[in-house]
Structure 1
Amino acid sequence: MKSTQIAIIIFINLFTLFTSYAQEIRYDEKEIYKTKFDNAVPVLNVATFHFGETSDANATEFNENDKKNQAEVKKVAKLLAEFKPTIIIIEGLPKNDSIRQADYLAYLKNPKVKVKNPDEISLLAYEVGRLSGAKRIHGIDYHESYNYQIGANVKDAVDKTTANKYWDLLTENENNNPEKDIPFYDLFKLNNHPQYLESLMIMNADILTYISSKRNSEGADEAAKFYHRNLVMFSNLNQISVDKNDRIFILLGGTHTAFLNDFLTRSPKYNLENTFKYLK
């Protein structure tokens, strides 16, 4: 058989394979819309638990003053710095940006300076920025309180089972994925797992929508406040000036990370990176 005939046969087989594959793709799986700007800004959106004292209802035990723990945090910072961000975003109020910027620049000049009350920002965010050469740091937090224990205040709830069944399911998942007494790196990866982040959204907001008395929406009204807080945080992010050369690293508490993942995925302005590209 001549080489020309062989080439034709190979071409026909490849074309048939491609055509067959194309026909197997369901319409809903086809990309019919362009969803991102050509100059979409790369974003690495990373979840952390809060080191030290925190007002969060679900605190994680972690001795941030322990030298071994600090060394483990620095190892994670080195991995995340491979993203090479130019802008660092943290869970701080925008009104404090000038103070935070000065503190961050001081750290860049002397990273060995002892911090009195180290937290995830000074130990992790600052170090990611230092290793990547980022010069800018911004806070995007917005404070808005809500009653996540609204269920205790709703009498004659229509749905008396869903919330309690969810807490049982959550307890089962937590028992199967213990957070206590595991290495920091394993804990950090757990905190960034997509299913873990999704559970935080349910736990902190969505489960409240099952709590209501007849023709009322007590739980949803409270959940809306938490949704609003995260929407404002995303709005604060959108007020930060960026250009085509910028790369944004975001470090927030896990629930905020989960909300922003949704917003960033849909946003035409940003291109969300997979965190586990760096948490190997």
Structure 2
Amino acid sequence: MKILLTLLLFVTINLYGQDAILNQKKIKTKFDDAISVLNVGTFHMGETSDANSLAFDVNDENNKIEIKKLANILAKFKPTIIVIESLPKNDPIRQADYLDYIENPDKKFQKPDERELLAYEVGRLSGAKKIYGIDFKESYNYNIGSSVKNAIDKITVNKYWKLYEENQKNIVNEKISFYDLFKLNNHPQYLESLMNINADLLTYISSKGNAEGADEAAKFYHRNLVMFSNFNQIPVDKNDRIFILMGGTHTAFFIDFLKRSPKYKLENIFDYLK
């Protein structure tokens, strides 16, 4: 935990120094009416085909209590719009389901996940009336390495995997609390590691003169770009505040998109996750 706090302090100081330079030169990177966004990463809590899932019993009463506590913390952002990892075509059904939950917070879901358990509750507590899905499905061959003959840099790929597996093992062995695990899942360096292992790792898989791994990774990059395009189609005004809840790798992509966009102002999640 001390290491985590040290890293957060370093990131804060570093970013402050960069902002000071921009302010000194009077360079504006955001619209005056930029919309505040709280971009939150989560592990998938229910049944999912996603690789980034954990053994998490959504029916356990202690887990439910912990999620409710977290929802209360995140609801202090006071979003007016909730955005989740769901297909836009399902928005009418999802909106009706969400509004029903607002009226009946004791509602039972057949197979709840982080969307019903956390996003719905954050929205209910904050009074948000609108919920949107921005997901886009695009498959890619994550195991492309097994089919590339004469791959050039197998050593880096193997070391990459060992590093990731060691980190994951340490997380499991420490048996940290749900809240601390959620904080870890939103640490910038942890999010970058998810981006590395889910996409960038593939760029090290290639045969001479080719880019087999990069071609596959590009599909995952494209998926996230389309998700951001879907996000930009949500009707908003200057008074809106947007809460996004997605799997951590998508959150990592969106950090970069939101930082660069003049339309949005990315809020620091650790202003809420103390």
Fold agreement, TM-score > 0.5: yes
Q: 1:128 aligns with which of 103, 108, 122?
A: 122
2:21 pairs with 1:30: yes
Q: How does 1:92-131 map to 2 (within 5 A)?
A: 92-131=86-125
Please report how far the alpha carbon of residue 28 of structure 1 lies from its aligned counterpart in structure 2 after TM superposition: 10
Q: Which residue matches 1:70?
A: 64
Distance 1:104 1:168 in 2: 41
Q: Residue 137 of structure 1 aligns to a residue in which SS?
A: strand
Q: Which residue matches 2:212?
A: 218
Please report how far the alpha carbon of residue 168 of structure 1 lies from its aligned counterpart in structure 2 after TM superposition: 1.4
Q: How does 1:235-250 map to 2 (within 5 A)?
A: 235-250=229-244
The one-letter code matched in structure 1 to 2:21 is K
Q: Which residue matches 1:154?
A: 148
Which residues of structure 2 form unaligned runs of 5+?
Answer: 1-16
The one-letter code matched in structure 2 to 1:30 is I
**1:49-74 C-alpha deviation (Å, 9 max, x unpaired):** 11121101232010001111011001
| Compared CA separation, residues 109 and 68, structure 1 to 2 (3 A) | same
Distance 2:71 2:53 in 1: 21
**1:223-271 C-alpha deviation (Å, 9 max, x unpaired):** 0000000000000000001001000000000000000011001100000
**1:150-188 C-alpha deviation (Å, 9 max, x unpaired):** 111111011121111111122232233337743211111
Q: Residue 172 of structure 2 aligns to a residue in which SS?
A: coil
Q: Which moved more, 1:28-37 or 1:184-193?
A: 28-37
Q: How does 1:136-151 map to 2 (within 5 A)?
A: 136-151=130-145
Which runs of at least 4 in structure 1 moved beyond 6 Å after TM superposition?
26-29
Contact 2:47 2:111 in 1 (8 A): no
Distance 1:188 1:28 in 2: 27
Distance 1:224 1:267 in 2: 21
Contact 1:51 1:120 in 2 (8 A): yes
Q: Which moved more, 1:212-221 or 1:55-64?
A: 55-64
Q: Residue 118 of structure 2 aligns to a residue in which SS?
A: helix
Q: Residue 171 of structure 1 aligns to a residue in which SS?
A: helix
TM-score normalized with structure 2 length:
0.90
Contact 1:201 1:258 in 2 (8 A): yes
Q: State the aligned residue count.
A: 256
Distance 2:54 2:259 in 1: 28
Contact 1:61 1:180 in 2 (8 A): no
TM-score normalized with structure 1 length:
0.88
Q: Which residue matches 1:11?
A: none
Larger Rg: 1
Q: Which residue matches 1:200?
A: 194
Distance 1:67 1:28 in 2: 44
